[in-house]
């Protein structure tokens, strides 16, 4: 397979750091960068695959919400206690909870 050249520009200190890491790995800079990019692409693809189902559910919910006529939710009542607990459990799965019970990004 024919190789294609890709040119990148980086700051000198970043280039020096890349060279040092490549040397420690026993690779030339090109091989090191290709390996690093390959690892990053594999990680990104794995994350996308892991969340594909959730992303599909979100897209479906957004489409349903956009299709609702204006005012469709005006007469929706308060959540039941069971519904509130289910929402809290879902949010805990998404955001996680630390030992204090607060979520990341919230004041403790």
φ/ψ bin of 5: left (φ > 0), alpha (ψ from -120 to 50), beta (otherwise): beta
pLDDT digits (tens, 9 = 90+) for 4-59: 999 999 999 999 999 999 999 999 999 999 999 999 999 999 999 999 998 899 99
Strands (E), the chain: none
pLDDT of 107 over the 70 cut = no
Decide if 18 contacts 12 (C-beta within 8 A). Answer: no
Q: Where are the domains of the chain?
A: 10-68
Decide if 10 contacts 18 (C-beta within 8 A). Answer: yes
Task: Rounding to the nearest 10 degrees, give the CA dihedral for residues 96, 100, 103, 104.
Answer: -100
Model pLDDT, residue 98: 58
């Amino acid at each position: 397979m024919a190789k294609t050249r890709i040119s990148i520009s980086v700051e000198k200190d970043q280039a020096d750091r890349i060279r040092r890491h490549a040397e420690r790995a026993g690779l030339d800079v090109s091989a090191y960068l290709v390996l690093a990019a390959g690892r990053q692409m594999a990680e990104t693809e794995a994350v996308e695959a892991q969340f594909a189902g959730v992303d599909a559910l979100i897209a479906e919910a957004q489409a349903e919400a956009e299709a609702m006529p204006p005012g469709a939710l005006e007469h929706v009542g308060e959540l039941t206690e069971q519904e509130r607990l289910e929402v809290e459990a879902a949010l805990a799965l998404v955001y996680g909870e630390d030992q204090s019970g607060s979520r990341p990004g919230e004041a403790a």
